[in-house]
Chains A and B, each alone.
Chain A
C-alpha cells in the first residue's frame, strides 16, 4: 500500500486540498488567521449566505483494507455553508462538528481562493500556515505513537 502524501493531494486537486485544510483547522486558529488576512486586504470581504451554516448528518463509508467492498462505518455530524462574495465568487465548506462560524469562515476563504488576485494573499495568510500547523501536529502525534511501537516476532520452535 502506498500512502498518498499531502503534496500528492495538493497537486491532484488543489481546491480539495485547501478545503480540507480549512475544514481540519482548529476554529481558534482559523479565526486568528482570518483576522490577519482582513488586516492585509484593502477591504474586508463581505459575503451573502447562499445556504447555511446548517448542521446535519453524513454517512461515512469505509472499505476494509482500503480496497474491499464499501460498508457504512457510521454517521458523523457535519456543518456546511455556502457563501457568495460581492464579486460573485462562491465558496463551500463542510466541517466536522457543529461550529457554524468555522464553516462560514472556511467557505469565505474558499471563495477568496477563487479569485486569482486574492488567492495568493489568502494562501499566504491562512491556508499555508494552517496546513503547516496541521502537519506539525500530525508529525508530533506520529512520533509519539512511534515511540511506543512494539516489535512482535515469532520464535522458531525446535522441531522444524
Chain B
C-alpha cells in the first residue's frame, strides 16, 4: 500500500462541483451497465494527469472512495497521487485486493481480480480499462440488458480476452465486471454479458 506523501506541485483539481458531477458520471455508468455494450457519451470538464483520460478520471471520481482499494496499472506516480488526493482511496499493489482495478495500459488477468464469493458476489472487483477506441464492430454481445444482440468493439483488446471473459461468465454469480472508457465515451460489460466474435 502506498502511504508516501502526495506531491502537490503539479496536482490537478478534481470536479469543480463534486456532488453534481459525480452524480452525473454515476448515472452514465449506470446507463452503460444496464445496457451492456452501449457506448454512452461522457464529456467531463477535467484535466487529469496523463495518461489518465478525462472519461476514465470521471468514472474513477464517481465510483472510488476511501472504502475501495484501487489497483493502478500502467500509471505514472502522478495518477496515484491525484486519485488518492481527490478520493482518499488506498492504492494497493496486488490486484486481488482491489475493489477497482484501473488499467491504463496492459490489463490485469481477469482471474487475478477478486471475483467475490457465492454468499457475497458483490465483493468482486470492477475493472476500469482505458482503451483507444470503442466501436460497434468486432464483437457480438448477448445477455440481460440487450434486446437480441449488439455489436461492439474494443481496440486494443488483449489477445486472450474472449477466453478469459468466457471463464469469467462461468463463475456467475461471482465474477468481474468491466467498464471501458475511450476518449469520449463509456461502455460496460457486466459479468452476465456473453461475448463472442462477430461473424
Contact = CB atoms under 8 A, between A and B. Distances in A.
B85 interface: yes
A52 to B, nearest CB: 9
Interface residues of B, number: 9
Given A49-B13, A88-B9, A90-B8, 10 more contacts: A48-B13, A50-B8, A50-B11, A50-B14, A51-B13, A51-B85, A82-B8, A82-B85, A84-B11, A90-B11
Interface in A29-54: 48-51, 54
Interface of B: 8-9, 11-14, 18, 85-86
The 4 closest A-B pairs by CB, nearest first: A90-B8, A50-B13, A88-B9, A50-B11
B14 A51 contact: yes
Nearest to A50: B13
A49 B86 CA distance: 12
Among B11, B12, B13, B14, max chain A CB count under 10 A is at B13
Interface in A71-106: 82, 84, 88, 90
B162 to A, nearest CB: 41
Contacts of B86: 51
B46 to A, nearest CB: 13
Contact of B18 (A48, A50, A54, A84): A54
A28 to B, nearest CB: 27
